[in-house]
Structure 1
């Protein structure tokens, strides 16, 4: 009987893969398919110049390369690039090199597309980040200015840390190693992107816990000038005063969010869609993954939303990929989102170690 257990396990995993793909719902004309599976804890993704998709993870401590050898948008091989890292959630690609964010440092794997399958040894680019693991995993991305942007979440649910690096988004000049803060009062941002036209930084922020099912809201924010303060820990959303720290806000001004999400949906990865495959109304609008609640009495989130804009004003929050929450049953936990060169998008799912591709065909 024992010899049949591996086969049975494989059948169960296959069934789960089919179920989570078939459960997903997308708007008319769109199609969602499985791009890769068995990508342990897949979180942030980065696309290389040769079409290799790299992804980080959190608890597994791994970085993977996903190889689509025949360009059919189905991954043929998942290669372990690195293991034993400290929550290497964030990855970014620039000039042939792969940058990986551990909790306390930034690593660089040189000439990665030629070395991903050779157990490459990274070099440390920057090691002056806090080493607290609570909200310590990073989402990183290179900005239009060529600098590497790095958020530093607070090491708590709610606190007022003396170390000014906590609760911020900073940027690193990878050549000079100069690090400066771009936004403060940010509880835990795990996704951001720049508006293709204005070049302003937009970012998601996760609201605090233990204020009930419906407070406070999670946020989508916009940075209009360097050093802006976004309210944490004194105020959340537009005007939710924190019961523990709200009295300390005083007369200090804070920038209000561009959008308030439902409490506990956990907005993570985001990107402005700039491709030509999707209908024109998607052009230059944010797509955001809602990772899903972990401590709400009734689950919310577990989907991807589209955020139409008009003159930098968010008009609505529209469902884009749904179906991963059936009652209390979770079938998908969307984490990050990137665009492929053909204009289709990839959505990572760290809860089920999968990556999905969403495409569009006119008239289909």
Structure 2
């Protein structure tokens, strides 16, 4: 007998009955998000609140939400949110799962969810409800988890390959008690990259995976480009600390190195920990732990970033937009959720957009949704902090905040 089926959601047919004017009226009734600044024609509304430390999220085909939680103390690891009366507010919350984590996807009739050391999946019924919440299928276990930079974000392609990010808990692969890097950095064998597993094979361990890309210090945002079908990631850069005053001023420490958006292919190397990308010199620079002086270029050629992101922005999610609600310029472009603030720009806690053409960036990143912090600079008490992105079946953009556990719905209506 099937058990623990989540509450039934309103079907797709019910959504189809809503006219565009009805949807607009419902949006106008939602609680507004007064601090959020958006381009003309866009509107942000709060559709869920006080959930706790939300990480990534996904929207089902019938408009309900699954969200992943980063802390299970007095909470569950996942929540299923439903809007049963179709007023635009997710008033029903069903929790399940006893593990924290970040990644969450729906693919091929399953809900996939990552802990900080592995990946699970739950079979869905035809209403996108988890059939058995108590018995997830364990797909991958044994991934390194030493608490620091331990999010296991992932994405699944159309060939059932699952690409899992394994961040490095070590900032620069230094020898214990030293400021010198370990020769060859053996940590790269298990962290600081993307590993490929099968999305439909249970009980895989780390050893069953294939290293797909290396030198990526910590990737929390990961998605597949809908045009090129290649894997893109956002990288959290390392910190330079204040260990090398002979090479870096305190201002440089605050503004280096760049974070980045990368396109990955089998075998690429983005440089960590041997080199980092300098967003002022616009080149890779040898890391000080490995003989660098803040100017020296490495002898090895590393993967060039597709887009340069200022230091310490903490890009925590990546989403290629394929919907039709937003204007044409957004189609197949990439949204990024910045979880922190850049000292260089004195700005942060925002959602950025990168325009794409023919599968490649056609311009630099631009601010799309700003002022989640509640201030112009984000330098005082932070109100909201973007951490997750998802696209709804109507083409709306959902943004998760991990301070209050607020979820925003950003919609567009031409005026």
TM-superposed deviation, 1:310: 4.0
Q: C-alpha distance in 2, partners of 1:175/1:96?
A: 11
Provide, for residues 126-182 of structure 1, a one-character-per-residue CA deviation record: whole Å limited to 9, x for no partner.
213123221112112212332222100001222134351211112211334442222
Q: Deviations over 1:217-256 (max 9, x none)?
A: 1111112x31111111122223233211355996322111
Tell me the equivalent position of 1:222: 263
Q: Decide which structure has the larger Cα Rg and report it.
A: 2
1:152 corresponds to 2:166: yes
Q: What does 1:333-348 correspond to in 2, within 5 Å? A: 333-348=385-400
- What is the distance in 1 between the residues matched to 2:35 and 2:361? 32
| Alpha-carbon spacing, 1:115–1:198, altered in 2? closer, same or farther (3 Å) | closer
Question: 1:67 touches 1:78 (CA, 8 Å); kept in 2?
Answer: yes
- Name the residue aligned to 1:8: none
Which consecutive unaligned segments of at least 5 residues does structure 1 have? 1-16
C-alpha contact (below 8 Å) 2:37/2:369 kept by paired residues: yes
Q: Counterpart in 2 of 1:166?
A: 191
**Structure 1 residue 104: Cα displacement:** 1.5
Query: Normalization by structure 2: what TM-score?
Result: 0.76
Q: How far apart are the structure 2 equivalents of 1:230 and 1:133?
A: 23
The match for 1:123 is 137
Query: 1:282 Cα shift?
Result: 0.8
Query: Structure 1 residue aligned with 2:59, among 44, 47, 72?
Result: 47
Equivalent residue for 1:276, pick from 324, 336, 359: 324
CA distance 1:339–1:18, change in 2 (3 Å): closer
Distance 1:157 1:168 in 2: 13
State how many pairs are aligned: 341
Structure 2 counterpart of 1:239: 284
How far, CA to CA, are the matches of 1:115 and 1:197 in structure 2?
Answer: 30
Among 349, 354, 359, the alignment partner of 2:406 is 354
TM-score (norm 1): 0.86
Matched, 1:184 2:199: no
| Structure 1 residues 68-104: Cα deviation after superposition (integer angstroms, max 9, x where no partner) | 2133432121221223x1x321112223322221122
Unaligned runs of 5+ in 2: 1-29, 174-184, 242-252, 278-282
| Conserved 8 A contact 2:311-2:344 | no
Are the counterparts in 1 of residues 341 and 348 from structure 2 also a CA contact under 8 Å?
yes
Q: How well do the aligned residues superpose, as a CA RMSD in angstroms?
A: 2.5
Which residue of the other structure, out of 54, 70, 88, is the alignment partner of 2:85?
70
Change in 2 beyond 3 A, CA 1:280/1:246: farther
Counterpart secondary structure, 1:182: strand
